[in-house]
């Protein structure tokens, strides 16, 4: 079995607990865009697959693994006439300020991987600027020489552009790399790129959904260094 020399990670649901991070933030976004109209807020929540009562997303939510543009389109279908670019700008500005809830043991796990000589990168369907803010505020930005958002020039997942750009930037064969994420988009991107596909359960999807598309399903990122070490 080939040794893992590079690991590219999804952000939301992988480095950060998806529901804990985006649940409260999404309520605020929905209420702000609804402007106090409770019926409109309910329609927006339904369009986004979000439960206003529990503050949690349904597993089929369009928000999970999608770009801000895709989420904006779902909202525009419900909102009264709204400028698309202005809506996306508001969403990106709010996203940059969203408090991130890191998965337990985030930095120690990343430091262990780096200590094993593993190159690290980020491939997210978020935009690059908010992603860099989130990494910096979590105190892990120094561990990622490569950060790609869907707007960074290589497209987004489930396409493989970001992953192949990571491998090229690090001088690695994609076959010596793994993609780690919490969604089928992440795992499909790994397959197309020729990388190993590693699923974590800190997003919304469960083991039964992820396992058929993954080489391995881990409880969280904290389990990744041991798995990588066992690969050769």
Confidence of residue 199 (pLDDT cuts 50, 70, 90): very high
Question: What's the pLDDT at 189?
Answer: 98
How many other CB atoms are there within 10 angstroms of residue 220's CB atom?
17
Confidence of residue 25 (pLDDT cuts 50, 70, 90): confident
Nearest to 134 by CA among 94, 77, 173, 177: 94
Measured between alpha carbons, how far is 6 from 171 in angstroms, rounded to an integer? 10
Domains defined for the chain, CATH in brackets: 6-16+100-229 (3.40.50.1000), 19-96 (no CATH)
Look at residue 99 in the predicted model and tell me its pLDDT: 82
CB 18 within 8 A of CB 57: yes
**Model pTM score:** 0.85
pLDDT, average across residues 43-65:
90
Distance CA 164, CA 104 (A): 29
User: Of all residues in the chain, what percent are helix, strand and coil, respectively (each to 5)?
Assistant: 50, 15, 40
pLDDT for residue 188: 98
Evaluate whether 199 touches 181 at the Cβ level (below 8 Å).
yes
| The token pair that represents 76 in the structure block | 């525009």
Distance (Å, whole) CA 147 – CA 154: 11
Question: Residues 122-136: pLDDT tens digits?
Answer: 999 989 998 999 999
Instruction: Give the number of other CB atoms < 10 A from CB of residue 69.
Output: 16
The rounded mean pLDDT for the chain is: 94
100, pLDDT greater than 90: no
User: What's the pLDDT tens digit per position in 148-160?
Assistant: 999 999 999 999 9
Residue 153, judged by CB atoms within 10 A of its CB (0-12, 13-18, 19+), counts as exposed
Indicate if the pLDDT at residue 65 is higher than 90. no
């Amino acid at each position: 079995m080939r040794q893992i020399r590079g690991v590219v990670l999804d952000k939301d649901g992988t480095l950060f607990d998806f529901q804990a991070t985006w649940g409260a933030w999404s309520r605020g976004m929905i209420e702000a865009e609804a402007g106090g109209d409770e019926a409109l807020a309910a329609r927006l929540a339904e369009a986004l697959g979000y439960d206003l009562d529990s503050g949690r997303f349904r597993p089929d939510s369009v928000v999970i693994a999608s770009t801000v543009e895709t989420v904006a389109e779902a909202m525009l279908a419900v909102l009264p006439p709204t400028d698309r670019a202005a809506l996306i700008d508001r969403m990106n500005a709010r996203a940059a300020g969203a408090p991130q809830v890191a998965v337990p043991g985030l930095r120690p796990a990343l430091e262990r991987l780096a200590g094993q000589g593993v190159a690290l990168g980020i491939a997210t369907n978020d935009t690059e600027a908010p992603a860099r803010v989130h990494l910096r505020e979590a105190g892990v930005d120094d561990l990622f020489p490569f950060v790609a958002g869907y707007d960074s020039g290589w497209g987004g997942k489930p396409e493989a552009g970001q992953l192949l750009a990571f491998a090229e930037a690090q001088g690695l064969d994609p076959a010596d790399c793994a993609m780690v994420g919490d969604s089928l988009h992440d795992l499909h991107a790994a397959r197309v790129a020729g990388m190993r596909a590693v699923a974590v359960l800190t997003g919304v999807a469960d083991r039964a959904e992820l396992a058929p598309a993954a080489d391995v399903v881990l409880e969280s990122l904290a389990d990744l260094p041991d798995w990588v070490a066992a690969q050769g």
